[in-house]
Chains A and B, each alone.
Chain A
Amino acid sequence: MQFMLLFSRQGKLRLQKWYVPLSDKERKKISRDLVQTILARKPKMCSFLEWRDLKIVYKRYASLYFCCAVEDQDNELITLEIIHRYVELLDKYFGSVCELDIIFNFEKAYFILDEFLLGGEAQETSKKNVLKAIEQADLLQEVSMLSSIDGFSWLF
């Protein structure tokens, strides 16, 4: 996968993850182009797009669009399911997720994404394992709220 974008129906970017090195300018241009193209598409249309030499796979969940760019020889359907699995993960973590969860806790959404996809490839497809990893890291957070001691090697 080359990159993943989350944006709202109004065209506001909510999350962006780039797995290929691109300059800031290119990133902005690409996301602007894509947001425009995708928002212009009708609901019953195909979820796949050809864009430059990439394949864009997108899906809308309520007010949020999830959009991934993969290479032409990649499997579009499984990419669609990657999006879906990510939504499932967000849903499980936030407990029925809504756009606001992602707006206000975008760093959490990034952490979950990093646990699920690494370097553009599906890292862990077991839902349980992804959430376990996130929870372990979060546990750290709560502990650190209580005490400010450094190092948590005692946890393991």
Chain B
Amino acid sequence: MSDVVEKTLTALPSLLSLDPQPGSAKLSSTSKLGNLIRGITELTSKHEEEKLIQHELASIKDQVSSPNTSMRQMKELMVRAIYCESLGYEASFTYIHAIKLAQQGTALEKRVGYLAVSLFLNESHELLLLLVNTVLKDLQSTNLIEVCMALTVVSQMFPKDMIPAILPLVEEKLNHPKEIIRRKAVLALYKFYLIAPNQVQHIHNKFRKALCDKDPGVMTASLHIYLQMIQENPEGYKDLTASFVTILKQVVGGKLPMDFNYHSVPAPWLQIQLLRILALLGKNDQSASAVMYEVLDESLRRAEMNHNITYAILYECVKCIYTIHPKSDLLEKAAKCIGNFVLSPKINLKYLGLKALTYVVQQDPRLALQHQMTIIECLDHSDLIIKRETLELLFRITNAQNVVVIVEKMLEFLRVNTDDYTTIDLVGKVAELAEKYAPDNEWFIETMSTVFSVGGDMMQPDIPNSFLKLLSEGFDSVEEDRKLRLFAVDSYITLLQKEPGKLPQRFLQVISWVLGEYSHLKDELEPTVVLKLLAKLLDMKHTSSETKSWILMAMTKLCEGGAEVSVVREVSETYSSSMDTVLRQRAHELQYLSQDSELRAKVLLRDNGLRPLEVDSSLSFLDGFVSEALAAGAAPYKPPHQRQEELAQAKALSLEPYGLSLPMSMSSCSITDRQSPTLLSMSSGLSGDSAEISHKGGSTSLKLDGVKRVWGREGYLPQRAAVEEAAQVEVPCTLRSPSQQGDADSSHSQTPTSTPTPTEPDPEKQQLASLFFGLSSQSSVCLMGKPEPTPHRFRRKAKGVTDPTSSSLISTPSNVEKLLCNNLLDSNIASELAVSSAKQITELPQGLKTASCDVEAELTDIADIKQNNPSLIVDNGIVAAADEDPDRPKDLCLISHLPAELSELCHSEITPLCTIQSLVLSACHLQKEDSLVLAVFISNSSDSALQHIVLDLDSEQLEVSCVSDSPAEDFRGHSVVVYQYSLTVKRPSIHVSIEGTVSFQLPGEAPQAAQFSYKLPLTIFIRPLTVSTEEYGTMWLSFSHDTKQNLTLIGDGQEALTATLNVLKQKLQLHVVEIIGQEGILSCRLLQDQPCLMHCRVHAGTLAVWLRSPVPDLPDCLIYHCQRALQEY
């Protein structure tokens, strides 16, 4: 087809001569739009065009506002307005008419109206609200095309807040008889899911129906939603793995209608979507991966045709194979595929090959080794994009042996690159590599100097920060530290003596800090020399005031009295009258400290690396000030997220008078600083000394703590033995001779056994092959039993916890969690006992008694009753109490059948599940600290023994696993057996239920079966979560699912908040993290560590609650239970 298009499109210039052509009959050459377009093509200057369009717009404006304009004319006008807008001229006066057209026009005019709206407005435009009614009307229309149009516009743009208004109608369309409507409805819901996931969570089941739709188009559309949901929570959809595999099998096998073929490949878009979903599901999951192997193999096999579309599928397949649990023969085939890509003469495929290599190379570095010559060729490719991708690949395989060559290549690229975004990215990578693998001090300092010069003021601020931190913290050896610092001083002095005017501001700041801090290390260097150099910087035109302030601080550190005083005096005099307050302050500091050497010695401790300063990071010395300010009527501090929230709420004009502004702003300022330390901020103290910087952290290195190590340098870890064998075979033929390396790496050659490959064409390229050193040598070192052969040069001291090598110092998170948890329980008891209000005293004993005599026995939910019972804390005393209950003799006797370790736990009321003949099923649940146990009692009241008893439990929301050994299948008359199940939440829901079937057989009779269900509230899965306010803050920002609602307060006055939160704490086991003024934060978790955070604020007589969690649905469920808990109180 493309040939045809190319031909016709090449014929264009002749068409543009605008003679009436036979083929142009369909061009609306006589229409006004036609005239306009023709008029514009005839113009020669931009100025003329502008005049013409302004004229056109004026005429459109006249007509649209005229009452006599019919909708049909309006449609025509709208098309012209779209044209003007697309040329870049504003026609905002037509927006409202576009909405009107969509509202009032006939179907056809509507179409143009909707199109204009979708082109003119974006999601946040306020006029969009006017469209809601039109959409509502059209969704209810009997005309299919109108429904389609409404759904189309809804899936492109719709105000988030108005979704609830149309949601039921869109949902309804999922059952529409026409597939096109169902398909568009699914996509509309996908859009809703993207912009407001909370709104559509109740229809997840309907998505499943769409997935099973008989129309492949609808099914394909539903995959967009699934891809998104699985990305967020792969665990929740594991049960669908087999279905996705089946669908893919059918597609690959050509079972779809021919319409879906694209260049005789069956439904490629669908295939790619499925492959992506499978990759997500199979990641770190051996059993799910096992289901996919066959179909992946099949996909690889089928995609043999030589066409772009098959390559697209292959690429996705390869990615999937490398993401899921590995299987060796598939990996082999995938590696071959990547090889074909990389070696392809087609540049697009080469690019993708490099991209795929980048993706897999950390798992399998040998693959890069195989293609080293191609990679080296790509490094010199004329297309910068290919070069850039190659550098990305090299970045991934950098190690201590090849770092010099790779960084050199990256810097080379940086010098010719003009794109800011790439510069920022690449500069960060160079800095990371330099810090990790620097072979020596000189190289490190020089490389970082280049980074600072090239990266300029665009680069990420954490690069200079982390560099300074590295210098100041030092490493294991004091002597090494001294050398490094000394070298930095030397090289910076040289730089300043050359042309400091060309250096970027950030670099100047780094230089002045280093000189201020370390130039005393160089004995023969006179402070006056440095001071003069610095003073020269101050006089330069381009030096920013921030840099000047750094320079002044450096001078303050350097000035020791004596000869240099005259330089200093001049400078401090100049700047002590500066307009810039910060500079003025620095100048005064400089002045005073240079005169008073005693004070100076106290303030500026030299060698403070040895005696770290105590920093009061909580700013507790300000507490008095804060409480004073509060007492004086200042508003309490609000964290930034809450201020944002309030801003969002208060979009309308605020008519309330302003509060006392001064104290409030000061108190909030000081605390903000604590929460968001900016390393380069001027508030970081007089000298910005090391201890202060170090305590604030922030580093570019990867945080690998707690990440499961599945892949090692040698490949997949469980298979290490096999891979190592393979590596051993390959090593000799793939290594380059060390003699061909540059001088820089000669000291690192660990590979004397290698032999050069005879087919090498170009000695220069051969030399570049040192890029791949280490890849192979590492595997050979591994063979000798040293898994980490290249220790980082700059190994940070223990306080820089971010270094992955020190991660072993930290105990496993689960243990920490346990410890925390235990502490929490203790402190809970302690604090409850400590508060001696009359109310709590009366409540406590109740809590320690059994649930059955609790005051709240009228509650319907069994488990709700239990909420007042601090079941996590109580021990043996409770079950004894339960036994005394006279109303439940039956319970008592059933309970006695529980195994000893369970009988001591607090249990819920025993609920009958079903009775079938002589068989009675009942159940109760027991709360353990870290799990929930469901006990099912089966009692046989007949005389005869029952046979083949099978009990099956399943739940949509819960993970049910059997913990007891299955009791004997047969059991005798008048006896009871207990089945135990452990329950964890899979998908939060307000109530969770377990469906079950039981079947059995009486001797000589047919088998019988019965069904039952058991309902539980979500609350019994909730456990307190102890976090500090700081931890809470970080967690809060990282959670994506949230919900907000106003709840009623309990009591009123000052104590309302505390009282309300106490109720929530007792009933739902939430942990109260902190209460400040009229605000409180709480936290909890579901079993299996699914946290949920809650932020409450008293606002206008209600409690504004905001919940956040990484788990979808959890905030909504919890808010429901909070609401109930408060209502029932």
Contacts and interface: CB of A to CB of B under 8 A. Distances in A.
Interface size band for B: 35 or more
A129 B259 contact: yes
Contacts of A64: 9
Contacts of A151: 106, 143
B217 interface: yes
Interface in A66-97: 75-78, 80-81, 84-85, 87-88, 91, 94, 96-97
B28 interface: yes
Contact of A77 (B6, B34, B86, B312): B312
A46 B347 contact: yes
Nearest to A32: B88
A80 B382 CA distance: 22
B156 A118 contact: yes
Interface stretch (B266-274, B749-757, B839-847): B266-274
B187 A119 contact: yes
Contacts of B12: 62-63, 98-100
A154 B156 CA distance: 29
A96 B348 contact: no
Contacts of B312: 75, 77-78, 80-81
B348 A48 contact: yes
B351 A46 contact: yes
Contact of B79 (A77, A94, A107): A107
B388 A125 contact: no
A103 interface: yes
Contact of A123 (B87, B144, B183): B183
Contacts of A100: 12, 15-16, 24, 27
Contacts of A53: 421
B1054 interface: no
B11 interface: yes
Given A123-B221, A125-B269, A48 B26 contact: no
A94 B28 CA distance: 13
B106 A144 contact: yes
B704 to A, nearest CB: 21
Interface size band for A: 35 or more
B550 to A, nearest CB: 31
Interface in B371-386: 382-383, 385-386
B9 A150 contact: no
B124 interface: yes
B262 A81 contact: yes
A30 interface: no
Interface in B170-218: 180, 183-184, 187, 190-191, 217
B422 interface: yes
A111 B37 contact: no
Interface in B1069-1118: none
A96 B5 contact: yes
Contacts of A156: 142-144
A61 B6 contact: yes
B107 A152 contact: yes
Contacts of A125: 217, 220, 260, 262, 267-270
A94 B1 contact: no
Contacts of B9: 61-64, 97-99
A124 B217 contact: yes
A106 B224 contact: no
B612 to A, nearest CB: 39
Contacts of A76: 348, 351-352
A72 to B, nearest CB: 9
A50 B83 CA distance: 30
Interface string B94-136: 0000000000001110011001001100111000000000000
B268 A81 contact: yes
Contacts of A75: 272, 312, 315-316
Contacts of A85: 262
B497 interface: no
A36 B10 CA distance: 22
A111 B115 contact: yes
A137 B145 contact: yes
A49 B385 contact: yes
Given A51-B421, A119-B191, A125-B260, A96 B111 contact: no
A62 B5 contact: yes
Contacts of A39: none
B5 A81 contact: no
Contacts of A153: 142-143
B127 to A, nearest CB: 14
A46 B309 contact: no
B272 A28 contact: no
A107 B123 contact: no
A119 B217 contact: no
A150 B106 contact: yes
Nearest to B184: A118
Given A104-B28, A106-B82, A81 B386 contact: no
A51 to B, nearest CB: 7
Given A62-B5, A96-B8, A123-B183, A77 B37 contact: no
Interface string A48-62: 111111000000011
B155 A104 contact: no
Contacts of A87: 1-2, 5
B5 A61 contact: yes
A50 B183 contact: no
B4 interface: yes
A47 B308 CA distance: 12
A52 B424 CA distance: 10
A130 to B, nearest CB: 10
B41 to A, nearest CB: 9
Contacts of A44: 347
Contacts of A23: 122
A150 B141 CA distance: 13
A51 B421 CA distance: 8
Nearest to B260: A126
B979 interface: no
A98 B22 CA distance: 14
B348 A140 contact: no
Nearest to A121: B224
A97 B107 contact: no
Nearest to B187: A118
A48 B124 CA distance: 31
A1 to B, nearest CB: 12
Contacts of B37: 103-104
Contact of B143 (A45, A88, A141, A152): A152
A151 B11 CA distance: 42
A28 B1038 CA distance: 33
Interface string B744-772: 00000000000000000000000000000
Interface in A120-156: 121-129, 133, 136-137, 140-141, 144, 148, 150-153, 155-156
B981 to A, nearest CB: 39
Interface string B65-103: 000000000000001001100111010000000000000
Interface of A: 13-19, 21-24, 28, 44-53, 61-64, 75-78, 80-81, 84-85, 87-88, 91, 94, 96-101, 103-107, 110-111, 114, 118-119, 121-129, 133, 136-137, 140-141, 144, 148, 150-153, 155-156
9 contacts: A21-B157, A46-B383, A61-B5, A75-B272, A75-B315, A77-B309, A96-B4, A125-B217, A129-B259
Interface of B: 1-2, 4-6, 8-13, 15-16, 23-24, 26-29, 33-34, 37, 79, 82-83, 86-88, 90, 106-108, 111-112, 115, 118-119, 122-124, 142-145, 148, 152, 155-157, 180, 183-184, 187, 190-191, 217, 220-221, 224, 257, 259-260, 262, 267-270, 272, 308-309, 311-312, 315-316, 347-348, 350-352, 382-383, 385-386, 388, 419, 421-422
Given A77-B312, A101-B26, A106-B86, 15 more contacts: A61-B6, A61-B9, A62-B8, A77-B308, A77-B348, A81-B308, A97-B5, A97-B9, A100-B15, A111-B115, A114-B152, A123-B221, A148-B106, A152-B143, A155-B143
Give the 4 A-B CB pairs with smallest separation, nearest first.
A62-B9, A77-B312, A126-B259, A21-B123
